[in-house]
Amino acid sequence: MNSKRIESGYFAVTILLLGVVIILASGVAWLMYPSRGDVALWILVAGAGFAALSFIIHPKLLRDIVTSRRTLLWINDAFLILAIIGIGLLLGVIAARRHYRYDFTRDSLFSVSDSTKKVLVGLSKEVKVTAFFPKGSVEGALVEDLLSEYRRYTDKVQFKMIDPFRDPLTTKAMNISNAGTVVVQCEVNRKDISPNELFQQANRYMQQQSESPKFQGEQAITSAVVNVTSGTKRKILFVTGHEEPRISSYNSQGLAGIQQYLTKENYEVGEISLMENIPTDTAVLAIFSPKKDFHETEIKALTSFVKDQKKNLLIALDPDNKAEQLDSFLVSNYGVVPNKDIIINPSGIGNDPSLVIPTYEMHQIVKVQMEAKSGVLMQLCRSISFEKKDPWQITAFLRTSPESYAKRDSNEVMSGKIEFTQGKDARGPLNLGLAIEGTGNASGSRAVILGDADFASNKLLQVQGNSDLIVNAINWLAGQEQMISIRPKTLDFGTVTIDRDSGNFILILTMLVSPMVIFLIGGAVWWTRRRV
């Protein structure tokens, strides 16, 4: 008889504990799914039913719980365990709803910038990102971590990691030729990001050996997201009719490389004669190295484009350009004077005095290149002077070194006489790039004037940061500053040097002291409970 009572008592206690667990589960269900309060209520009723059933099975259970010391201790232990489980579940729910993270890395390697957060939170369209990296690669892990961080701020971004070697069909179907490419898509718009745009490697010839590589994936991917979600492609037209290099030309002086870069940036690129009407949806009008002069009608079209439509100009000039009307337009409209000279760099690369590496002055166009220490190489440049002219704000963002100088007589240069002539030639530093922004009535109009066009040719476009300069200049003109404002992150992994004494101390602490402390605490608890 006593054994049956004991068995019924254990069974009743088990039922009671089950009821308590179900009651706790109802609370968790209500916290996780507050809109389904009816379900949580039914779970609560079921738990209460099991608790009531335990007292029906063993009517003296309540008296035993209240009067029996051993039962109280047993129930106390059970409730402590359940309380710990419940607290853990509750903390998990709170953490899932209010997710806080802190990035203690020096360059915030595992966080995204405020610019990216603003772009992600403002997304209204679905964006699909496909990254092609070999499984297990460090580069792929960095990109995957970055895209996972994007997902914390929006559910509009979906991403997928593809191993191009294990899934060649998908790789071929998406026209991917290089591992390490990231494809960003939104509706019919697509932007491919090359590995060189994601990772910036140290140049062993131009930079210090100790410089760490940089991860600029956030800049590249966020820019791509802005590109493909902008709705319509921005149009940039290159002026023709004056023997300018063509965007369809693949020879050394052609601009086909620029056309490919801009297409990847989601621009609509074309050519136009200024004798035609300039389309009103043109974002940027580009003039590169005209060899012939402009007609008065063309100058009127440029003036109307700038003053009436408040649009943007990109003009790159070489020393051999003979476009007097265009020069007069720049003087009268902006106060900019393209000087008739050739820049000589006494310390030119490879003993070539025509090669110039400009220095940067702080401006949005070159901010990222300054931080990345990415230089620009120009050849056969001309200097640009300017005077303040309302309503324009002019900033010189490219300048020569103080050692450089401008030869005013091009015939002397062509004959091999490149020595500085006092009183005739001009000492450096000299302006090579101007950023012009309208104020007041001209607000909204911008222009970039460059003293060289060769740096953007097929011959030099891939050299150092030449392609970055031209693309960033056009992005600034088109009002896409957010595409060039995210700072690259240095992949600098710190090292810890441990001597023999420190190693022995860590070994003793982890292998002996820590287990011994846990063993002593457990033994003390057991000894105390044994006496009870």
pLDDT of amino acid 204: 43
CA distance linking residue 262 with residue 268, whole number of Å = 8
Q: Which amino acid is at 212?
A: S
Q: Which helix (H) or strand (E) holds 256?
A: helix 256-264
pLDDT of amino acid 143: 92
Handedness of CA 248, 249, 255, 260 (dihedral sign): positive
Phi, psi of 261 (to 5 degrees): -60, -45
pLDDT beneath 70: ranges in the chain: 1-10, 35, 61-72, 75, 96-109, 200-213, 231, 348-351, 482-497, 530-532
267: which 2 tokens?
């621009």
- For the chain, give the percent of residues with pLDDT over 90: 38
CA distance linking residue 225 with residue 192, whole number of Å = 11
Q: Domain segments of the chain: what residues?
A: 2-97, 109-231, 238-489, 496-532
pLDDT of amino acid 207: 43
pLDDT of amino acid 208: 43
Tens of pLDDT along 336-372?
999 999 999 887 666 678 888 899 999 989 987 887 7
With CA atoms as reference, report the closest residue to 143 among 222, 261, 226, 228. Answer: 222
The pTM score is 0.62
- For the chain, give the percent of residues with pLDDT over 70: 85
199-200 sheet: strands from edge to edge = 199-200, 214-215, 489-490
pLDDT of amino acid 126: 94
**For the purposes of burial, counting CB atoms within 10 Å of the CB of 179, is it exposed (0-12), middle (13-18) or buried (19 or more)?**
middle
Q: Which fold has domain 109-231?
A: Glutaredoxin (3.40.30)
pLDDT of amino acid 231: 66
CA distance linking residue 356 with residue 351, whole number of Å = 11
Q: Are 228 and 189 in contact (CB under 8 A)?
A: yes
Q: For 241, left (φ over 0), alpha (ψ -120 to 50), or beta?
A: left
Residue with tokens 């265009």: 326
pLDDT of amino acid 266: 72
Residue with tokens 């365990």: 81
pLDDT of amino acid 191: 86
What class is the 238-489 domain?
Answer: alpha beta
